[in-house]
Amino acid sequence: MASFDELDQTTRTELEAAAFRRLLAHLDDNKDVQNIDLMILADFCRNCLSKWLVTAADEQGASLEYEAAREYVYGMPYSEWKEHYQGKATPEQLAALAARQAQKNSKE
């Protein structure tokens, strides 16, 4: 069995793409996980994934609008997702996010 580094670039890219699609499906199956919770625990959220797609497109010389990337990540227009699935952040979540950001800033 080969290590990941031993795989050819095409296979690596296909595996990475498949894993990314699976991550998106997992997030879609767990809409109750709020973006703020992801930011608190992992310092990224669905919007970050969307921004990373736009950046990757730019790096490849392609043009991808942020809203189109968000629709891909969310599986629907962001405004629709927000209306149906995004809850209002609690004071505890906001405090935890502020603490996470302060911790991150102290390491930089």
Which pLDDT tens digit goes with each residue over 6-63?
999 999 999 999 999 999 999 999 999 999 999 999 999 999 999 999 999 999 999 9
Q: Could you give the number of structural domains in the chain?
A: 1
> Considering the domain boundaries, does residue 1 fall inside one?
no
As given in the structure block, the two tokens for residue 6 are: 């031993």
* pTM over 0.85, yes/no: yes
> Considering the domain boundaries, does residue 3 fall inside one?
no
Unique residue bearing structure tokens 């050819």 = 8
Domain that holds residue 96: 8-107
Of 62, 30, 64, 61, nearest to 45 by C-alpha is 30
CA distance 85 to 46: 13
Q: Is 74 exposed, middle or buried (0-12, 13-18, 19+ CB in 10 A)?
A: buried
Q: Is the pLDDT of residue 93 over 90?
A: yes
> Considering the domain boundaries, does residue 2 fall inside one?
no
Contact criterion met (CB below 8 Å) for 80 and 27: no
pLDDT, tens only, 50-75: 999 999 999 999 999 999 999 999 99
CA distance 15 to 85: 30
> Considering the domain boundaries, does residue 67 fall inside one?
yes
> Considering the domain boundaries, does residue 96 fall inside one?
yes
- What CATH number is given to the structural domain containing 64? 1.10.3340.10
**How much is the pLDDT for 108?**
79
